[in-house]
Structure 1
Amino acid sequence: MDSGQLIGIIIGIVVVLAIVAVAVMVSRRRKVAADRNRAAEMREQAKADELTAREREAKATRAEADAQQAELEAERLRQEARSRQEEAEKVRSGAQEQLRKADELDPDVVTSEHDDAAAETPTRRSLRSEPVSGEPGAGEPVPGARVSGEERNPDDVTQADTAQTHTTDTNPPDDRPRNL
């Protein structure tokens, strides 16, 4: 081998090494540029995720505020309901007191629960109830019932007479005329 060939081989090797070095540098630059692009995309995605996270936090904060508002409204409604319940209790007790006073004034109503005649005298409920058609009202004599001073034949007693107690004898007198 001659020195020209040796120089040609060395130059060829240097050229190949230079080409390889240039190729490596170009590939590194491409890789660096690709990494930069990928990093920029990742930063943009991170910013978008950060915005999404902030939006979700804001929605969560609004939801929490709405929940607190709803709790306050519910508590206000509970207090209003309690207030109305107390008012209803006062009205109910006032009505009960008024009924009690009316019962005390009414001579036809027995106000003592321990009175022996309480079972035979009309109560507030029986005095207020409307008589059903065909049935006598409170204080009216029952047809076929025994009226004081009237004699009856024991054979004339009917089933209605046996069910009827002697309430017509023990009822206080009222202003309605009796049918004899």
Structure 2
Amino acid sequence: MDTTTLIIVIVVVVVVVIAVIVAVAMTAGRRRKAEADRQRATELRASAADDGLAAREREAKAARADADAQQAEVDAQRLRQQAQERQDDAAGVRAAADEKLRKADGIDPDVNRSENPPPR
């Protein structure tokens, strides 16, 4: 073999070795990146699951608050009805008392019937 052929063979071998090293380095880099991407995806999924639970908890709290508000509205309506019933009852008692006073005034000989009774 002459020197030129030897140099060409060495250059080809060096180029092949460099190409193999570059290919191995690129493959290893892709593997590291793929593993890092898998790890990041796993972390994102865990975070999304946590966020999903937090959202469900907040939705449940909102539903409870809405139910509490509805119950408060029902209770307020019930209290308004009771107040109206008591006012109606008081008005009836007041009317009965006024009627008794009128009757008493009607039968009392000392009451001057020509004067207008004071309003009660």
TM-score if structure 1 supplies the norm length?
0.61
- Give the equivalent residue in structure 2 for 1:39: 41
**Contact kept in structure 2, 1:109 and 1:124, CA below 8 Å:** no
Question: Which among 82, 88, 98 is matched to residue 84 of structure 2?
Answer: 82
Q: Which has the larger radius of gyration?
A: 1
Q: Gapped runs of 5+ residues in structure 2?
A: none
Structure 1: runs of 5+ lacking an equivalent: 126-180
Higher RCO structure (Cα 8 Å, ≥6 apart): 1
Question: How far apart, CA to CA, are the structure 2 residues paired with 1:80 and 1:100?
Answer: 30
Report deviation, 1:102: 1.1
TM-score (norm 2): 0.90
Q: Tell me the equivalent position of 1:50.
A: 52
Q: Secondary structure at the match of 1:2?
A: helix
> What residue in structure 2 maps to residue 94 of structure 1?
96
Q: Which amino acid aligns with 2:81?
A: Q
* 1:104 CA drift (Å): 0.8
The residue identity in structure 2 corresponding to 1:2 is T
Alignment of 1:54-65 (within 5 A): 54-65=56-67
What percent of counterpart residues are identical? 51
Could you tell me how far apart the structure 2 residues matched to 1:88 and 1:50 are?
A: 56
Separation (CA, whole Å) in 2 of partners of 1:61 and 1:8: 78
Larger fraction in helix = 2
1:110: Cα distance to partner?
2.7
- Report runs of 4+ in structure 1 exceeding 3 Å deviation: none
